[in-house]
Amino acid sequence: MTRHVVLLHGIWMVGATMQWFGARLRAAGHATETFGYHSVVGGPDDAVPRLAGQLRDGGPADIVAHSLGGLVALQALSLQPDLPVGRVVCLGVPLCGSAAAAKLAQQPLGALWLGRSAGLLREGCATWPARFEVGMVAGSLPHGLGALVARFDGENDGTVAVEETRSPQLADHVVVPSSHSGLIFSGEVVRQALAFLERGRFER
């Protein structure tokens, strides 16, 4: 079954960042489009209503979102629970808030790096309407900039701790050997995303 998938990038990235991932989804027979937004100067106040509009105008869709993009997507679904969205695959999304973002915001000029997305990254978006099936792919290779500002006690992808990606509302959760940025360039993550989009659960 062909699915229409909307792709969202994370902070400090652009829509083209998701091109590799989208190409793999298209090779598997799905249609894709990218939602681009200004993660620092615009933030969720600008991105959330624009995403909701694109989703409403585009018809039934699923979502694959990396990092901050997942928080933007879940906030849109929480504010407009009638959006025509079925399944959401989150890639390294700090549902419970990001300790690395909170630490960075305390550093000189740190708030400038996070811009208008600082609040959402610190607080997360741990709840959403139950009608949406949300799955999480978390990374466990601790290679990333987050390690420079935050201390992780457990598994992490170098930017987001695995525990920050968990929520009892998730339909499924899987951990893969990937760094945070590597999640959008991993064949294993593509395989898991396809499994969830098509069946609502990850491969074991």
In order of their start, the domains of the chain are 4-199 (3.40.50.1820)
What is the pTM for the complete model shown?
Answer: 0.92
Residue 125's pLDDT is 78
Could you give the residue ranges of the DSSP H alpha helices within the chain?
A: 19-27, 43-58, 68-79, 99-105, 110-114, 118-123, 187-199
pLDDT in tens, 61-107: 999 999 999 999 999 999 999 999 999 999 999 998 888 877 766 77
Please tell me the distance from the alpha carbon of residue 200 to that of residue 87, in angstroms, as a whole number: 7
Residues 6+ apart with CB under 8 A from 128: 74, 77, 78, 134, 169
Of 78, 68, 62, nearest to 6 (Cα)? 62
Q: What is the DSSP string of 92-119?
A: S--TT--HHHHHHHTSTTHHHHHGGGHH
Both tokens assigned to 88: 């959401």
* Residue tagged 């699923």 (tokens): 62
Mean pLDDT of 150-178: 92
CB half-sphere exposure, 184, CA atoms < 13 A: 25
